[in-house]
C-alpha cells in the first residue's frame, strides 16, 4: 500500500471527524464511527475526489471497515496505472 493512499485516507477520516486513535484498519464505519448513509456518501465523494478514482455504488456499498476503504482505493488507483 502506498504512503499516498495511507496518508490521504487518514486525512479524509480526520476531515470527517474521526479521532486519531479511531483510524485503524479494523475500525468499522458503522459500529465504531457511527457513519450513516450520508456519511458514507461523503466518504465516497472525498475518496473519488482526492484519489481521482471512480468507485461503483455496488462496490462502495461493501465498505465496512477502514481496511475495506484502503483496499478499494488501492484497487482503483492500480487500475488507473494499467
Q: Where are the domains of the chain?
A: 3-81
Interhelix angle for 66-81 vs 3-15, to 10°?
130
For domain 3-81, the question of CATH label 3.20.20.70 is answered with: no
Question: Which tens digits make up the pLDDT trace of 28-65?
Answer: 999 999 999 999 999 999 999 999 999 999 999 999 99
∠ CA(67), CA(81), CA(75), 5° rounding?
Answer: 20
Whole-prediction pTM value?
Answer: 0.92
Question: Which tens digits make up the pLDDT trace of 11-33?
Answer: 999 999 999 999 999 999 999 99
**Contact between residue 44 and residue 60 where contact means Cβ atoms under 8 Å apart:** yes
**C-alpha span between 34 and 6 (Å, rounded):** 21
Amino acid at each position: 500500500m502506498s504512503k499516498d493512499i495511507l496518508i490521504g485516507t487518514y486525512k479524509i477520516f480526520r476531515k470527517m471527524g474521526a479521532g486519531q486513535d479511531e483510524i485503524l484498519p479494523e475500525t468499522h464505519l458503522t459500529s465504531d464511527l457511527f457513519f450513516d448513509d450520508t456519511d458514507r456518501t461523503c466518504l465516497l465523494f472525498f475518496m473519488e475526489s482526492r484519489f481521482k478514482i471512480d468507485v461503483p455504488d455496488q462496490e462502495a456499498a461493501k465498505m465496512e471497515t477502514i481496511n475495506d476503504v484502503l483496499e478499494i482505493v488501492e484497487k482503483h488507483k492500480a487500475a488507473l496505472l494499467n
